[in-house]
Amino acid sequence: MRTPTLSVPAAIRARRTTRRYRPDPVPPELLEELLELAVEAPTAWNMQDRSIVVVTSESGRRDLSDAAFGQPQPLEAPVVLVFVAETAAWEAANADIAELAGRNGAWNAEFTAMFDSRAEFHSLQQRGLIRENAVKNAMIAATYVMLAATSLGLSSAPMNGWDPDLVKKAIGIDGRPDLAITVMVAVGYSDADPPHPGRRPREHTVFAERYPTGR
Question: What is the per-residue DSSP string for 83-128?
Answer: EEEETTGGGS--HHHHHHHHHTTS--HHHHHHHHHTHHHHHHHHTT
**What are the C-alpha distances in Å from 183 to residues 6, 51, 70, 146?**
25, 11, 16, 12
Contacts of 154 (CB under 8 A, 6+ apart): 26, 30, 34, 187, 188, 189
Going residue by residue through the chain (215 aa), what tens digit of pLDDT does each one get? 455 679 999 999 999 999 999 999 999 999 999 999 999 999 999 999 999 999 999 999 999 999 999 999 999 999 999 999 999 999 999 999 999 999 999 999 999 999 999 999 999 999 999 999 999 999 999 999 999 999 999 999 999 999 999 999 999 999 999 999 999 999 999 998 889 999 999 999 999 999 999 88
* Rounded Cα–Cα distance for residues 197 and 178 (Å): 37
How many C-beta atoms surround the C-beta of residue 56 within 10 A? 16
- What structural domains and CATH numbers belong to the chain? 8-90+128-204 (3.40.109.10)
